[in-house]
Amino acid sequence: MIRLDAISKQNGHQLLFIEASAALNRGEKVGLVGPNGAGKTTLFRMITGQEAPDEGQVAVDRGVTIGYFSQDAGEMAGRSAVAEVMEGAGPVSEVAAELKELETAMADPDRAGEMESLIERYGEVQHRFQELDGYALEGRAREVLAGLSFSQEMMDGDVGSLSGGWKMRVALARILLMRPDAMLLDEPSNHLDLESLIWLEQFLAGYEGLLLMTSHDREFMNRVVGKIVEIDGGELTTYAGDYAFYEQQRALAEQQQQAQFERQQAMLAKEIRFIERFKARASHAAQVQSRVKKLDKIERVEPPRRRQTVAFDFPPAPRSGDDVAILKNVQKGYGSRSIYDGLDFTVRRKERWCVMGVNGAGKSTLLKLVAGATAPDDGTVALGGSVRMGYFAQHAMDLLDGERTVFQSLEDSFPQAGQGSLRTLAGCFGFSGDDVEKKCRVLSGGEKARLVMALMLYDPPNFLVLDEPTNHLDMATKQMLIAALSAYEGTMLFVSHDRHFLAALSNRVLELTPDGVHQYGGGYTEYVARTGHEAPGLHG
Q: pLDDT tens track of the chain, all 540 residues?
A: 999 999 999 988 888 999 999 999 999 999 999 887 789 999 999 999 999 999 999 999 998 989 999 877 777 888 899 989 988 776 677 788 888 889 999 998 888 888 989 899 999 989 888 887 788 888 999 999 999 999 999 999 999 988 888 999 999 999 999 888 999 999 999 888 899 999 999 999 999 999 999 999 999 999 999 999 999 889 999 999 999 999 899 889 889 988 999 999 999 999 889 888 888 888 888 888 888 888 888 888 888 776 655 566 667 888 999 999 999 999 999 888 899 999 999 999 999 999 999 878 899 999 999 999 999 999 999 999 999 999 998 777 788 899 999 999 999 999 988 888 888 888 888 888 888 999 999 888 788 888 998 888 888 899 999 999 988 788 888 888 898 899 888 999 999 999 999 999 999 999 998 888 999 999 999 999 999 989 887 654
pLDDT for 540 equals 45
Alpha-carbon gap, residue 223 to 202, rounded angstroms = 9
Q: How many CB atoms sit inside 10 A of residue 157's CB?
A: 15
pLDDT 10s digits, 150-176: 999 999 999 998 888 899 999 999 999
pLDDT for 306 equals 63
Residue 229's DSSP bridge partners are: 32, 238
pLDDT for 129 equals 85
Decide if 217 contacts 100 (C-beta within 8 A). Answer: no
Identify the CA nearest to 492 among candidates 306, 297, 348. 348
CA distances 341 to 316, 347, 354, Å, are 37, 19, 20
449 half-sphere exposure, CB direction, 13 A CA radius: 17
pLDDT for 320 equals 93
Query: Residue 141 carries which side chain, given as an amino acid letter?
Result: A
The DSSP code for 401 is: -
- Residue 75 burial (CB < 10 Å; 0-12/13-18/19+)? exposed
pLDDT 10s digits, 373-431: 999 999 999 999 999 999 998 777 788 899 999 999 999 999 988 888 888 888 888 88
- Residue 77 burial (CB < 10 Å; 0-12/13-18/19+)? exposed
Helices 91-106 and 134-147: crossing angle in degrees, nearest 10, is 100
* Strand blocks (E) in 104-198: 182-186
Q: Please list, residue by residue across 84-117, b when 16 or more beta carbons sit within 10 angstroms of its beta carbon and e when fewer do.
A: bbbbbbeebbebbebbeebeeeeeeeeeeeeeee
- Residue 302 burial (CB < 10 Å; 0-12/13-18/19+)? exposed
Alpha-carbon gap, residue 529 to 521, rounded angstroms = 12
Please indicate, yes or no, whether the overall pTM of this predicted structure exceeds 0.85: no
- Residue 539 burial (CB < 10 Å; 0-12/13-18/19+)? exposed
Decide if 503 contacts 519 (C-beta within 8 A). Answer: no
